Amino acid sequence: MNYETTLSGTLDGGLLEDNRDRNRKRINIALIVVAILVVIGAAYYFMGGSAETAPVGADKDAQAQTVTVVAPGRDTVVRAINATGTLAARRDIPVGVVGEGGRVLQVYVDAGDWVRQGQVMVSVDRSVQTQQAAALEAQTGVARADLQLAQNELERALQLVERGFISKADVDRKTATRDSARARVNVANAQLGETRARNARLDVRAPVSGYVLERSVETGQTVSAGSGMLFRIAKDGELELRAQLSEDDLAQVSVGVPASVTPVGTERVFNGSIWQISPIINAQNRQGIARISLPFDKALRPGGFASVEIKAGAMTAPVLPESAVQTGRDGSFVYIVGKDNKVKQRPIKVGSVTANGLIIQEGLDGTERVVLYAGGFLNPDETIKPKLLKKQ
């Protein structure tokens, strides 16, 4: 009795396990079928087709998928080059000690101030130099007095030689004495002028008019010719953006081309133009610099980062949406639909991006029928049903 019960339970359990396996297999098969249907439906959707399933033996053209195509035509577009760069002074003038230097008595300007050419920016102690100048001035006075005495003696001698009281040789000696005294006066004047010029150079003056960008000197500091830069001045307040451009972009721009600059951290746009193009290309990054002049504004801070859009001129060329352009091993291409409704690959050269799409620089004349969508699902020489989409 116990043996039969055990056997019966074992058989029932095996049957239940077999049923579960069969159910699991049915579920897996059903999921696979659903997945295949979803893939087929997605492919049908992206192919743009709406044709119904053709009956057996129907014509190939009836079975061809419908694909949207477009004739791009030719549009006049403004070629825009987008780049980034660093803001800087157009002419950055470092200011240092020109004379022998000394202890700074007072600093008259600070960063952010405007200065005019020749304006005193720093005054330096000149107490010792003033005494030296006074001594030289006194020596000059002595030399002038000697010259006056020698001149008077020569004039008296000239009066006496006419009467025969003094020989001509004595007159010659007095003339030489007068000339020597005059030379000593010239030497004293030169030494005094040199000292005064040195003293005038003790003060640090603005070499040009402009906007003070940086100050690195304080009252009480001892400065000399080896102290380095004390100030930085943007000459006349002129600023610029040094935009980094690739070799291709650099070849598309020229001096005078307008540009719009937007500094980082602000939405303000500053209009300028290219005033200089770098004559060399950096060998490491293969880029050159286009220098864009900008008007002075406190929002433009040298050393800051900014983006720029350069208007590189207008051109007439086909423009296509990005969906029409494919990329392969040999570069960019599109699918062209011929008169027999067969697709062919056409290599192209893509230009810059515009609001309406990609500029096609080479490969199209604008009259072709170009596959707009689902190019990734097509094969060369495949027959399709083109559906022309009119450009707006």
Whether 272 and 253 have beta carbons less than 8 Å apart is answered as no
pLDDT, residue 43, reads 56
pLDDT, residue 235, reads 94
Query: 61 in helix, strand or coil?
Result: helix
pLDDT, residue 10, reads 41
Of 70-84, 121-135, 224-238, the range with the highest mean pLDDT is: 224-238
Whether 54 and 66 have beta carbons less than 8 Å apart is answered as no
Whether 261 and 305 have beta carbons less than 8 Å apart is answered as no
Residues 6+ apart with CB under 8 A from 167: 161
Instruction: Say whether pLDDT at 274 is over 90.
Output: yes
pLDDT, residue 275, reads 94
Q: Which two tokens stand for residue 91?
A: 């002419």
Whether 386 and 369 have beta carbons less than 8 Å apart is answered as yes
Under CATH, to which class is 99-123+205-235 assigned? Answer: mainly beta
The structure's pTM equals 0.57
Instruction: Say whether pLDDT at 98 is over 70.
Output: yes
pLDDT, residue 6, reads 40
Instruction: Say whether pLDDT at 49 is over 50.
Output: no
HSE toward the beta carbon, residue 138, CA cutoff 13 A: 5
Instruction: Say whether pLDDT at 70 is over 60.
Output: yes
Instruction: Say whether pLDDT at 305 is over 60.
Output: yes
Q: Do domains 60-74+318-388 and 238-314 have the same CATH topology?
A: no
The domain 60-74+318-388 having CATH identifier 2.40.420.20: the answer here is yes
Of 254-258, 371-375, 376-380, the range with the highest mean pLDDT is: 254-258
Crossing angle of helices 127-163 and 168-200, in 10° steps, is 160
Angle at 223 between CA 222 and CA 228, to 5 degrees: 140
The domain 238-314 having CATH identifier 2.40.30.170: the answer here is yes
Fold of 127-201: Helix Hairpins (1.10.287)
Q: Which percentage of the chain shows pLDDT scores above 70?
A: 85
206 residue type, one letter: A
Domain boundaries, the chain: 1-46, 60-74+318-388, 99-123+205-235, 127-201, 238-314
pLDDT, residue 4, reads 41
Instruction: Say whether pLDDT at 273 is over 70.
Output: yes
Please tell me the total number of residues recorded for the chain in this structure. Answer: 392
DSSP string, 68-133: EEE----EEEEEEEEEEEEEEESSEEEE---SS-EEEEEE---TT-EE-TT-EEEEE--HHHHHHH
- Write down the H helix ranges in the chain: 2-46, 60-63, 127-163, 168-200, 247-252
Residue with tokens 């930085």: 232
- 208 or 15: which leads in pLDDT: 208
Q: How far is CA 376 from CA 67, 341, 342, in A?
A: 12, 17, 15
d(CA 104, CA 220): 5
Mean pLDDT score, 266-289: 91
pLDDT, residue 47, reads 53
Residue 81: burial class (beta carbons within 10 Å; 0-12, 13-18, 19+): buried
Residues 6+ apart with CB under 8 A from 268: 262, 299
List, in sequence order, every residue forming a beta bridge with 315; answer none if it has no partner: 77
pLDDT tier at 249 (50, 70, 90 boundaries)?
confident
pLDDT, residue 21, reads 65
Instruction: Say whether pLDDT at 210 is over 90.
Output: yes
Could you tell me which of 381, 288, 291, 375 has the C-alpha nearest to residue 341? 381
pLDDT, residue 59, reads 53
pLDDT, residue 56, reads 43
In this structure, what are the phi and psi dihedrals at residue 357, rounded to the nearest 5 degrees?
145, -155
- 146 or 113: which leads in pLDDT: 113
